[in-house]
Structure formats: structure tokens, C-alpha cells
Amino acid sequence: MDRTGPVAGEYTAHSRHGERAVSDPDRLAHFLTLGMTKAIHDYRMIAPGDRVAVGVSAGKDSLALVALLRRWQRYAPFPYTLRALHFPVTASGPAPVPEGLAAWLERLGVPLVVLASPAGMEWPLTCYRCAQLRRRVLLEGAYLQGCGKLALAHHADDLAATTLVNLIKHGRLDTMAPLRRYRQVTVIRPFAYTEEREIARYARAAALPVQPTDCPLAGGTDRARAKELLRLALGISRQARINLVRAALQARYPSVRG
């Protein structure tokens, strides 16, 4: 990838417009949408007439993603529809739907579908099995809702951390795919170029109804530990995140010049 896109830090409200942009949700949304739109364009994530399901928890990343995809509907050069899918489980078992989530999505104008756990599940789950279950249920839910795309809120920090995990554990330069086709549904990651800190700024400024995670395994995953390594790497070079994401995506998609 070259250095013309948001992976190179170009579309960060903090760096380009100072403290005013950091506290203004509309300005933050504008610049986050620029980076998101570039990822959508580079990987052709959304096409005219697509029905897009968004995997929504009560975390800052997924709430920001559904809000910005809803915002982009007003400016996109083609129509598409959105609906939110929520799967209320943790590794310990089923959980309640977060308070205020349904009302917030209703105000946003995005329908909410709450997905049920498959029958016969045995709890608790390991983190790996929980992630597999969540992905399977979201993919099936998207398909049953007639959605050909499933948008997940993994961001550039997740991609960089996954690159580190793959390098350290498997000796392989690879990361999450910004776009991956399954049998009936294509998974897209519109935040592939977006830094987590920018999402956090927007979530605070826009007063998104973020709820703390109650997952007992949160913070103990390989990716969470790799994010600690990423923080150390950023102390060596501010380009560490950018370089990890760029290298992994260029290896996976040599024809994409993001």
C-alpha cells in the first residue's frame, strides 16, 4: 500500500484539525467516515442495493460502526439498507440485551434483530469457541435476514495485533481480511484503516451508549496481549501500527493500492 490513504494517518481528526475536532462529534464523524469510505472503496465492500447486517454489541467499536454506516447512507453514491444484529452471550452463557441499545438504534433508524443461542449449548466456552459461535450465529442471522453482507467492527489496531500474533505464533505475515466471502454472506470490515483511538474519541464526543464488557475472558486473549506489544512498538515508532497493517494487507492483496 502507498501512503495516500487513512492507513498512513491522513484521515485523523486529531492530527488535522486539533482539539476542536477532538470534541466535535460531527467533525469526528466526518473524518472517520472518510477513512471508512476509503476502505469500502478499496475492497468494494458495499454495492448498490446491498442489504448490510452490522454485528452490534454495546462496545464503542460496533456502535460507532453502525452510526457511521447510517450516516454514510445520506452521502453514498448508491442506496443500501442496514440492520443491526445482536447476539447477547458471553463465554459464560446467555446475557441480557444491554440497556438502552434498542432505543438508541430505533432513534438511529436501524432495525434491531436479537439472535438466540443454538439449542443444546454447553457453557462455559473457551474464548476460541465463543468467537466461533458468535461468528457462526451472526453469519446465519445475516443470511436469514436476507443480508448478503455482514459488517464487523474490527479496526486497524485489531489488524495490527492479529499480524503480530500470526508472526509470533505461526511465522506468517497475515491479518484479518477486510473482505472475506463465505458461502452465502460476505464479511466486511469497514474500520480496517481506522485507529482505535479515533473511534474512542468519537464514541465519547457522540455520547454513544457504550456498556462495559462483562465477558470473563476479556483481556486474556492472544490479540489482547499482542495489543500490549503494539503499544510498546508504537513507543519505538509512531508508524508501527501503519507498517504492520500495510505489510500484512499488501501481502494478502498485492493488487490493492490503498
Note the pLDDT tens digit of each residue in 73-123.
999 999 999 999 999 988 888 889 999 999 999 999 999 999 998 888 888
Q: Per the domain annotation, does 242 fall within a domain?
A: yes
Q: Per the domain annotation, does 216 fall within a domain?
A: yes
Q: Per the domain annotation, does 87 fall within a domain?
A: yes
Q: What is the pLDDT of residues 166-210, one digit of tens each?
A: 999 999 999 999 999 999 999 999 999 999 999 999 999 999 999
CA 110/CA 167 separation, integer angstroms: 39
**Domain of 238, in residue numbers:** 6-252
Determine phi and psi for 113, rounding to 5 degrees: -120, 120
Is the bond leading into 124 cis (omega within 30 degrees of zero)? yes
Q: Per the domain annotation, does 166 fall within a domain?
A: yes
Q: Per the domain annotation, does 1 fall within a domain?
A: no
Q: Are 87 and 112 in contact (CB under 8 A)?
A: no
**Residue matched to cell numbers 500500500:** 1
Which domain CATH number covers 127?
3.40.50.620
- How many domains does the chain contain in total? 1
Q: Per the domain annotation, does 220 fall within a domain?
A: yes
**pTM across the whole model:** 0.89
Q: Extract the runs of DSSP E, i.e. beta strands, from 87-185.
A: 89-90, 93-94, 112-114, 149-151, 179-181
Q: Per the domain annotation, does 27 fall within a domain?
A: yes
Q: Crossing angle of helices 60-72/25-42, nearest 10°?
A: 80
Q: Per the domain annotation, does 257 fall within a domain?
A: no
